[in-house]
Structure 1
Amino acid sequence: MLIYSMTRQSIRGFISAFCRPTVTGLENVPEEGPFIVASNHLSFLDSVIIQALMPRGVAFFAKAEYFTGKGVKGKLMKAFFEGVGSIPVERGEQAASVAALKTLLDLLDKGQGIGIYPEGTRSRDGLLYRGRTGVGWLALTTGAPVVPVGLRGTERLQPADRNTIVPRHFEMAVGEPLYFDKTGPDHSLPARREATDRIMDAIAALSGQERAPGYNKPPAA
């Protein structure tokens, strides 16, 4: 816990000093109890930014290979992602997806905060894509409030063709929590879709992005 707190404070200090972000709405984060952060996704750094700037801890998934690298670089990456509260997950495997979902439920049951990107992957054209219904499933199953977040300008911090981070001003707007009736896992797909669409509408209002008609797709390998 001490390492986690120190890592978050260090990253927050770096971001504040070199990026001078405009951050609004932090008072909308519940002071206690479980909550789900649902954000648009523009940059590899989005999770780290949200984890560092939020007043409470937020657990995001990160690719498992970030935790298994070799040598000094691998150890540093593992320490960093563990330090900000990231959770390793294998991508593209059904069993791993089920285990990941259970991990999120366990964290919410413990009264903690989790983060999710309803779009599924980063937007590379700046559009806000249709939300996948996992966030709606979590909200209806647990009854945890959903805190929408709109990020603007984070894609400039690490352009797609660069491995280095370039300090740039960005904005993070945190909206009022959205509440859904707790139904447990036995709810209909239309109810899940309706909850997800409501969440995406809130994200769109905060991010100011133009909406895309369909789902986002990960880049070709």
Structure 2
Amino acid sequence: MLYTVAHGVIPPLVRAVWRPRVEGIEHVPTSGPVIVASNHLSFFDSVVIPVVVPRKVVFLAKSDYFTGSGVKGTFTRAWFEGLGMLPVDRDDTRAAIASLDTALEVLGRGEAFGIYPEGTRSRDGRLYRGRTGVAHLALTSGAPVLPVGLTGTEDIQPVGTNRPRVGRVDVTVRFGEPIRVAGEYDGVPTGRARRDLTDRIMAAIAGLTGQELAGAYNERPADA
């Protein structure tokens, strides 16, 4: 109910204020499980993707956003739940592992699950190497992977800022053709299959964004 109400308000508001340009929307599967894999430039990424995708996309969000008190805490919790987000404790290793199980549950229900293979936001604009959790989800569930390339979201809410900038910003969301995995890696050792598929996904994202490749993993700062 909360998602339905919020989704009737948030997308029109975001589109009116920031006017994101959308390309390749025809590539988005209208039904069935799908993994929405995107580059990650800004906290705002998890707002703009659910706004432009014509179906619910579930993202995981830091659990702190769901535990606040008072009016601000209630509003923040309603905002995140209204966007279809689920809480995860990023500092608990066991919870992080359990988040993959949560993702598989979402996909098992035939829904769309959003993930950032880089693991955390790029602080220098480069595209970092993908972590293989995205491939684990795809190979375990059999769901196709929808590559997404975002540009300009870092200008709405740069890393380190708490509030989005209001005003005209050139934001583009590009969707690539789904990468289908069913039967693609039969007989391939698990580790090799995950690495190869992850690299394919990141190459597709790079083709959509034109970002410089960092050639390394992106590590989350201790104070992030």
TM-score of the two chains, using structure 2 as the length reference: 0.93
- Structure 1 residues 68-217: aligned runs within 5 Å: 68-167=67-166, 168-181=169-182, 187-217=189-219
- Corresponding residue of 1:8: 7
Counterpart of 1:131 in structure 2: which amino acid? G
The CA RMSD over aligned residues, in Å, is: 1.6
SS state at 1:6 partner: helix
> Which sits farther off after the overlay, 93-102 or 150-159?
93-102
State the alpha-carbon separation in 2 of the partners of residues 15 and 211 from structure 1.
Answer: 30
Shift of 1:100: 1.0
1:116 counterpart letter in structure 2: I
Q: For residues 201 and 32 of structure 1, what CA distance do their matches in structure 2 show?
A: 25
Contact 2:121 2:159 in 1 (8 A): no
Question: In the alignment, residue 162 of structure 1 is paired with which amino acid?
Answer: T
Deviation at 1:187, TM superposition (A): 5.0
Deviation by residue 1:144-187 (Cα, 9 ceiling, x = unmatched): 01000000000000133533311322000011100012579x95
Of 13-22 and 29-38, deviating more is: 13-22
Does 1:20 find its partner at 2:36? no
1:120 partner amino acid:
G
The CA distance in 2 between the partners of 1:161 and 1:95, in whole Å, is 27
TM-score (norm 1): 0.94
- What are the Cα deviations for residues 78-109 of structure 1, in whole angstroms up to 9, with x where unaligned? 11101110010011222212221111111111
CA distance in structure 1 between the aligned counterparts of 2:164 and 2:104, rounded to whole angstroms: 33
CA displacement at 1:16 relative to structure 2: 1.5
C-alpha displacement of 1:5: 2.6
The aligned amino acid for 1:219 is: P
Deviations 1:93-126 (A, max 9, x none): 2221222111111111110110000000000100
SS in structure 1 at match of 2:9: helix
Could you tell me the percent identity over the aligned residues?
A: 53
Aligned partner of residue 122 in structure 1, secondary structure: coil
List per-residue Cα deviations over 1:198-217 (Å, max 9, x = no partner).
00000000111010110001
- For residues 174 and 80 of structure 1, the distance between their equivalents in structure 2, rounded to whole angstroms, comes to 25
Kindly indicate whether the alpha-carbon contact (under 8 Å) linking 1:9 and 1:52 is maintained by their aligned counterparts in 2.
no
SS at match of 1:23: strand
Question: Structure 2: which 5+ residue stretches go unaligned?
Answer: none
Residues in 1 aligned to 2:91 and 2:189: alpha-carbon distance in whole angstroms: 25
Write the distance in 1 (CA, Å) between the matches of 2:158 and 2:23: 24
